[in-house]
Structure 1
Amino acid sequence: MADNQTKATEQSVEEYIAAIDDESRRKDCQALIKLMTKVTRQPAVMWGSSIVGFGSIHYQYESGREGDICLVGFASRKGDISVYGLRAAPNHEQLLASLGKTRSGKGCLYIRKLADIDMKVFETLIKEAVTAKGKA
């Protein structure tokens, strides 16, 4: 069975953020670090080369595949900020419906800029996801 490629690393979160060319995106990512640190009470850690993650949780699928992944995290991508780990919130669909201008993928939420979303709803979504994973 293949190893999980996304693991916590020693890479600098500050260097990752500083390398984001767009100043507005960089500020949004800094705001996400503050918010996710506050909610999870965990420091920001690089997972792989491009995900800023907070906390960790062990998972095991029915197939037997298992590993560790961040509770919640984000990555600055070309067009959006991808946010991970929010679908664990019991009422994530209702919260996503009132969040604002976003798109959803299989396992992540895409946000163009934080000004497009309701930050109180977003904080609730993060809190509920972390709580549902038993880490609050």
Structure 2
Amino acid sequence: MEPTSTSVSSFIDGVASPVRRRDAQTLVALMARITGEQPAMWGPSIVGFGSYHYKYASGREGDAGAAAFSPRKDATTVYLPDGVDTYTEQLSRLGDHKTGAGCLYIKDLAKVDLDILGGIIAESYRRVTAETPGS
């Protein structure tokens, strides 16, 4: 996947849910501060910061945002490319969320500890960019 030329601000302005829109604005500020990168759209609905290169055992490889999120209908998805299992202790203190293999699903950022979330994002970003040559 590659970043697109779509405006991140326009995308966020078009998010129907006021809670998801507010959370998207909060995550843009948080991830920009953590990564030192400007946001970019990766595909039609993912806001990413920086990039990393991945390669699966199957041989499939590509690039993706090193820190990223998407304001989905049911919850905001925060992507953790190094997986959620690394953050078991932090997630136990995060607040209201659900997890997938590489995703956090958060319905309302007001119900989580943003310092803990920021720490998780920072560590994940550091790990995946350290593994990407030239980042």
TM-score by length of 2: 0.89
After TM superposition, list the pairs within 5 Å mapping 1:41-80 onto structure 2. Answer: 41-80=36-75
CA 1:109–1:90 in structure 2 vs 1: closer, same or farther (change >3 Å)? closer
* Alpha-carbon distance in 2 for matches of 1:79, 1:65: 29
Distance in 1 (CA, whole Å) between partners of 2:8 and 2:15 is: 11
Counterpart in 2 of 1:11?
Answer: 6
Aligned residue in 1 for 2:109: 114
Q: 1:126 is matched with which residue?
A: 121
Amino acid at match of 1:42: E
Q: Which runs of 5+ in 2 are unaligned?
A: none
Alignment match, 1:105: 100
Structure-2 separation of matches of 1:20 and 1:48? 15
**Percent identity for Structure 1 against Structure 2:** 38
Query: CA shift at 1:94, angstroms?
Result: 1.0
Write the distance in 2 (CA, Å) between the matches of 1:50 and 1:90: 25
Contact 1:86 1:92 in 2 (8 A): no
Q: Aligned to 1:92, what secondary structure does the other structure show?
A: helix
- The one-letter amino acid of 2:65's match is C
Q: Once the 2 structures are TM-superposed, how far is the Cα of residue 62 of structure 1 from its aligned partner? A: 1.8
Change (3 A) 1:102 1:86: farther
Aligned residue for 1:20? 15
Report the alpha carbon displacement of residue 21 of structure 1 after superposing the two structures with TM.
Answer: 2.0
- The number of residue pairs the alignment matches comes to 131
SS state at 1:96 partner: helix
Letter paired with 1:124: G
Under a length normalisation based on structure 1, what TM-score does the superposition of the two structures give?
0.88
* Deviation for aligned residue 1:70: 0.6
What residue number does 2:90 align with? 95
Contact 2:84/2:100 (8 A) holds in 1: no
